[in-house]
Amino acid sequence: MSELPEEPVEESTSPKLVLPKEDEEKVITQEELQNEAAEKAAQDQEQLVQDMAIPAELAQHLVLNDPEFGQLVASMLASRQLYAMCMYELEMLCEKRDFKKEKVEDIENLEDLEDLHIPMLKEILINSAAVQAQQPFDEKLLFNGFVKTVFPWMQRVVVEHTKEQEAAKREEYDEMNAKRIVTPLKLGVQWFPESATDTGAELGRTKPVMLIGFEPAVRWILDQITETALGEESNVNQTLRLNSGGKPKHSDPKVWYVPKGDWEQVANSNTEFGRMYARNVADNLIDPIDLLIVDDLCHATPSHEFSSIHFTANEGQKKLKKWADQLGCLLIGCVGLPRDLQPNELNRPEYETLRVHNILRAVEACKLPAVEGEEARYAVTIGIHKFGEVSQAELDEYAPTKIITP
């Protein structure tokens, strides 16, 4: 029986998979090369820092302890600063000068000078000086040049630059201050009824506020207003408070308290407040004053036996208002009474002058209905609006006392 012939085996046309041999080099990717380069650069930088440690310490020692090296480095620093000063003066000269009006014999078309030519002019002047500086020079001539030319020029330019910078700062301050003065203040008090365009809670600075009422309630309100002025949502930058007594409730630099002994009779004359301000206030403020609070106007003006409380309060508020206008701040002057106000007391004729010249508001503390097991509480109002509630114990803390406390 004969054997069948073997069928031919077809060879595959697909590329053969060749496995890498162990001794062949591995292909390095671009990312690996970048990482290796970064690592090498970091190592070089670290090595440079180590190498510079000793020279840096030596340089520090020489500058601090060797006058020759100290003067040398100081002169290098001065020369760099002088160059910066020259560049600033070049900018100022080019801004002020109208080059089209220059009369140059060889140039007839200066009218064709455009703004794009000015940077070119600066570069030409700078490069010209740089080229000249690279030339050999005589140190004696350099010294004489400094004495006869550079120093007098520096003196004149420093004076001019100082005047220009002060004028620019003054103009910037005046602009910011003008915006500040016309900005109404938010003190967390409902001063007026709400309207379609105003919530009645913001207050301008042109007309002062006068609060009159039961003294503990007035002083409690002033502490609440001061705390609101320190809040993040307030736009009061600085508060000055003429404190009538008791330890200040806040220690924030945005509010400065003046104890009664330092401001009593401050409205005795038109100049007394200015002296008190210079002596006790000016150096302690961090911003211009936005709010001036006088705890009790009766302490600001010397009173006489025949003087009424209305006259005394009006005289004090009137003099302090002049200073508030100069400072660009709102004035809140207060009168604390040892009693509750009588119904419609502030509408009486004797209060007419105070009503005309002030935003006059009554302060009252009305006892709320008792709740069994709870401490008595009072609703404190400013005018017709409720300001807040306070407990009997907290209100008692604001009662005037003759005991001297530190």
pLDDT value, residue 36: 83
In a domain, 6, yes or no: no
Q: How far apart are CA 136 and CA 133, in angstroms?
A: 8
Handedness of CA 295, 297, 303, 305 (dihedral sign): negative
In a domain, 47, yes or no: yes
Burial class (CB in 10 A: 0-12, 13-18, 19+), 302: middle
Among 177, 211, 241, residue at a domain's last position: 177
This prediction has a pTM of 0.67
Residues of the chain with pLDDT under 50: 1, 404-406
Q: How far apart are CA 317 and CA 301, in angstroms?
A: 9
Number of domains forming the structure of the chain: 2
Evaluate whether 212 touches 346 at the Cβ level (below 8 Å): yes
Same structural domain for residues 260 and 379?
A: yes
Same structural domain for residues 49 and 93?
A: yes
Same structural domain for residues 53 and 87?
A: yes
Same structural domain for residues 145 and 208?
A: no
Sort strands 330-337 and 255-258 into parallel, antiparallel or unpaired. Answer: unpaired
Query: How does DSSP assign 164-204, residue by residue?
Result: HHHHHHHHHHHHHHHHHHTSPEE-S---S---SS--S-EE-
Handedness of CA 147, 153, 159, 165 (dihedral sign): negative
Q: 41-90: per-residue pLDDT in tens? A: 888 888 888 888 888 888 888 889 999 999 999 999 999 999 999 999 99
In a domain, 26, yes or no: no
Q: Which residues contact 329 (CB under 8 A, 6 or more apart)?
A: 205, 240, 288, 289, 290, 291, 292
The amino acid present at 163, given as its one-letter code, is K
Evaluate whether 209 touches 333 at the Cβ level (below 8 Å): yes
Among 129, 144, 177, residue at a domain's last position: 177
- Domain holding 287: CATH number? 3.40.50
Q: How far apart are CA 364 and CA 387, in angstroms?
A: 10
Same structural domain for residues 173 and 208?
A: no
In a domain, 403, yes or no: no
Tokens at 22, concatenated:
């162990």
3-state secondary structure of 379: strand
Same structural domain for residues 334 and 227?
A: yes
Same structural domain for residues 226 and 359?
A: yes
Angle between helices 117-133 and 67-96 (to 10 degrees): 150
In a domain, 118, yes or no: yes
Same structural domain for residues 286 and 330?
A: yes
pLDDT value, residue 98: 83
Among 177, 211, 234, residue at a domain's last position: 177
Q: Which residue's entry shows tokens 């009662």?
A: 399
The amino acid present at 46, given as its one-letter code, is E
Same structural domain for residues 224 and 165?
A: no
Same structural domain for residues 123 and 209?
A: no
In a domain, 196, yes or no: no
Q: How far apart are CA 53 and CA 49, in angstroms?
A: 6
In a domain, 192, yes or no: no
In a domain, 4, yes or no: no
Same structural domain for residues 129 and 218?
A: no
Taking the CA atoms of residue 124, residue 129, residue 133 and residue 135 in that order, the dihedral angle to the nearest 10 degrees is: 60
Query: How does DSSP assign 241-294, residue by residue?
Result: EE--SS--S---TTEEEE-HHHHTTTTSSSSHHHHHHHHHTGGG-SS--SEEEE
Q: How far apart are CA 129 and CA 32, in angstroms?
A: 49
Task: Show the domain range for 76.
Answer: 41-177
pLDDT value, residue 406: 43
Same structural domain for residues 144 and 266?
A: no
